[in-house]
Structure 1
């Protein structure tokens, strides 16, 4: 099945969603949907998925034990914990925690909160299977052969070798409610924009960070409004409130970045939607809306992040 390949966000901005998006390749082993109204994927449990033992707090960063090397020939899914919420349905935007493990070594590849829609065919079926037609509150274990994921090329960015089977654990946390930043009025960093191409300087106040998603519009533009899912072009600078250091920025790369608003961490995408082209904004993002609260799961895990953003353009996703 041919997939849409969307523009990827820079790695330091990308949510796990960016790692879940399929490329323009054919995957021969995609499960068939059933013919009922829910169009649930037909992904039965199997010996391999049943054999994965998962421990750890729900919606945290789980661990998994299984015999290695694990090599699968077909997609298998086991519901390790059955939730007591409503069953997920096509189109539902689900807040999840997705953790992937190498089938070769058993080591964790990544673990991160993100949001994906049930049935979104831009997402690999291996990840869609983990949230498809299960009660909210469930934890699923999916064993994904290479043919249903990164194939013969693998994914060098996250350390998946060519032809490697991946074990995917997904905690189906909740249906995402609309996320709108609160107005940032206290302890707003000082911002000085650079001249002649120099990057801006953001000075954080000597206070504890906010525990909320907050944003201040420094300058309102007069262009078109960014819509959810748009491909937006921005200049940005990201600073960790924990360390006070810049961890990524586009200013020093000489050109802006373009990516979909739903392909970046939740707090960053929410700050862009509804803003006008030409606007300059600064946003503070708590860990649960960035890279999660577990410092061991990501190098920016457990950290409050601050982004200065200049919105240069937006266009509807094709």
Structure 2
């Protein structure tokens, strides 16, 4: 949903990273949480139902703040984990719901060094939060108040409304990590990469010694799913990690970023298009992609043969 993406882009990217921490011992709060004191929350009937949220309107806040409305009974979030969450947004002026993500798969935020560097305070409050907790937070004036001509922001556009956000911490898991290693020694004719990948997706990929990779695309199924076969016209969601054949250096990983990637299969490099077409949903495959099917010649992109581990998580819809 477009309004959800705008909500996340404008608020999670700005509001979350603007919060400041406070002391412990009372219900957890950060920043200026006083305006959140009137909020009453009733959880939905199940994990796919948005909560009922009531608060005094207009909710007036001039500084960012957050408050744990209900503490969960799950494990505490630990440093380095990925936090899964769902959220709902509410108009601060009249209390109406702007939108929610509860019927969609949970989204992910990585509690890592990047987050700590961007904002040490939000990093601190997430570490120690219990799974199952409900958190309210506001970041006023997340959109321009007016255009250059003095006109007010479009009230029909949810991204242009000051919002109260209610977040449910759904889960916290250790970050999946895929390590690539370049073997030493003499090159072996027709040698191909091998992988030892666990059920959760973590593991190690060994790239053969020498720098004479296969000249053709190689696809090895590490785990076969039981879903439909991917078509070239599909939009799919995957987790992946990729490294260069020549030295085993990893250059990209959705696991490190904290969230899967979604794309049309006909909109990526040819090695992915050809290598993933026909793969069953739920499968994990190892792709060895020759330069002619990779980024060869594209400035700023890794050159030469590439090796990817790709976990096909879902087939979303036909690509437009």
Bin the TM-score by the shorter chain. Answer: 0.3 to 0.5
With the length of structure 1 as denominator, give the TM-score of the two structures: 0.38
Of structures 1 and 2, the one with the larger relative CO (CA 8 A, separation 6+) is 1
Normalized per residue, the structure richer in helix is 2
